[in-house]
Amino acid sequence: MTLLDKLGHVSDRLRAFGDGAVPFDTVIDEATGPCEVVIEGRRTLMCGSNNYFGLSFHPEVIAAARGALERYGSGTTGSRAANGTLSIHRALEREFASFYGKREALVFTTGYQANLGVIAGLCGPDDVVVVDVESHASIYDGARLSGAQIFAFRHNSASDLARKLARQPRGRCLVVVEGLYSIGGDVAPLVDIAAACREAGALLAVDEAHSFGAYGARGLGYAEAQGVLDQVDFIVGTFSKTLAGVGGFCVSDHAALRALHFTARSYVFTASGSPANIAGVQAALALVRRDGSLRDRLWENVRHVRAGLSRMGYKIGPNESPIVPIQIGAPERTVALWQALLEAGLYVNIVLPPGCRPDACLLRTSYSAAHTPDHIERALAIFEAVGRDLAIIEAAA
């Protein structure tokens, strides 16, 4: 078998979609707002975005991005370790450190690179990285890049984590989990996980990519909501969800975080975030810090959707989060539902093997503070009509 032959399974997978739309190759022609797009000329309601606060079209975010574009130009043309550190990069780092009450903060070009840089920058061949089995690909890739020994523990099982840690050397182990998991929409038992790390002398990193903004009294994420923010050694997050930009960050009380400015390959060897993007994120962060109503509207929409889908008879995930997974089962039924929803003007995401078991396929839907009551009612009406046509649900209650 050649290198190219190994990719043949992709063609086999694409054939499952027949002549209909292919979810991994769907093109958005235009975004007319934070919750509406145009796909193949059709006005489409977006319920598959991570734009949790709907800030991508906020006037303050757009104005900040435009101002930075005019002041600094379109790009930095260098990495943070070369000519790519602008005053706004440093200012954003100070703002994240201040928001979290931490000593250090580091901004990365993407959220993916934040996990790569932190994990591979901290750990090496003599170390151990222990991850939740359902961790994001960037966490696994960061662990592999580090050269450390890697162990996975059962999803959200603090007891299994404790058993794994009991066999590891003290002081040479990093545990990495997520606050909110992006497929199932479930949250980590951080109180128990932090306790297991303390007992074993392991450092703890929590990826709050999907939980930043939505959870906690100030929106700092699930570690804040669980009251363990001071027990987490490294908080990693992204700009591409709540903050409606591109990039990532890490905050910590460990001074060693600053050393990653010189040692994290994904930080040193890539161009820094563009001025417009960084300035837009600054403006979005300021909005998150001062406007608690964004979080309130997000949760109102989530509860409205969950109640509507449950009433119709859809099987949804048990945890209340901005991510509402709809469990379908067989790939064929899941593909048919996804394509029919898109044809009816509703975009959601689809999860198929190898991202799940063949009998556990689902639609991943997500919601925003920017969804209006009319948006939510429109989405529910489409879910009901399409679900009944395909016999996914029997009838509205």
397 in a structural domain: no
Statement to judge: residues 74 and 51 lie in one domain? no
Q: What are the residue ranges in the chain where pLDDT is below 50?
A: 396-397
> Which of 233, 266, 290 marks a domain boundary?
290
Number of domains in the chain: 2
pLDDT reported for residue 24: 78
In this predicted model, what pLDDT tens digit does every residue of 84-125 receive, in sequence order? 999 999 999 999 999 999 999 999 999 999 999 999 999 999
C-alpha–C-alpha distance, residues 181 and 177, integer Å: 9
CATH of the domain at 320: 3.90.1150.10
- Note down the domain range covering 302: 5-56+292-389
Collapsing DSSP to helix, strand or coil, 350 comes out as: strand
Segment 160-211, tens digit of pLDDT: 999 999 999 888 999 999 999 998 899 999 999 999 999 999 999 999 999 9
Amino acid letter, residue 167: R
Cβ atoms 272, 85 nearer than 8 A? yes
* pLDDT value, residue 3: 79
Rg, Å, the chain Cα set: 21
Q: What pLDDT shows up at residue 79?
A: 95
* Residue matched to tokens 């002549």: 19
Same domain, 16 and 64: no
Residues listed for the chain: 397
Q: What is the pLDDT of residue 40?
A: 93
CA atoms within 13 A on the CB side of 191: 3
Question: In angstroms, rounded to a whole number, what is the distance separating the alpha carbons of residues 274 and 69?
Answer: 9
CATH code for the domain in which residue 228 is found: 3.40.640.10
Domain end: 265, 290, 315, which one?
290
- Per the listing, tokens 């029997």 go with 394
Q: What is the DSSP secondary-structure string of 286-307?
A: HHHHH-THHHHHHHHHHHHHHH
In a domain, residue 396? The reply is no
Question: Can you say whether residue 221 is alpha, beta or left, with left for phi > 0 and alpha for psi between -120 and 50 degrees?
Answer: left
* Confidence (pLDDT) at 396: 44
What are the angstrom distances between the C-alpha of 250 and each of 6, 95, 99, 133, 231?
A: 37, 12, 12, 22, 15
Task: For residues 160 and 164, give the distance between their C-alpha atoms in angstroms, rounded to a whole number.
Answer: 6
Please tell me whether residues 51 and 73 are part of one structural domain. Answer: no
Say how many Å lie between the first and final Cα of the chain, rounded. Answer: 54
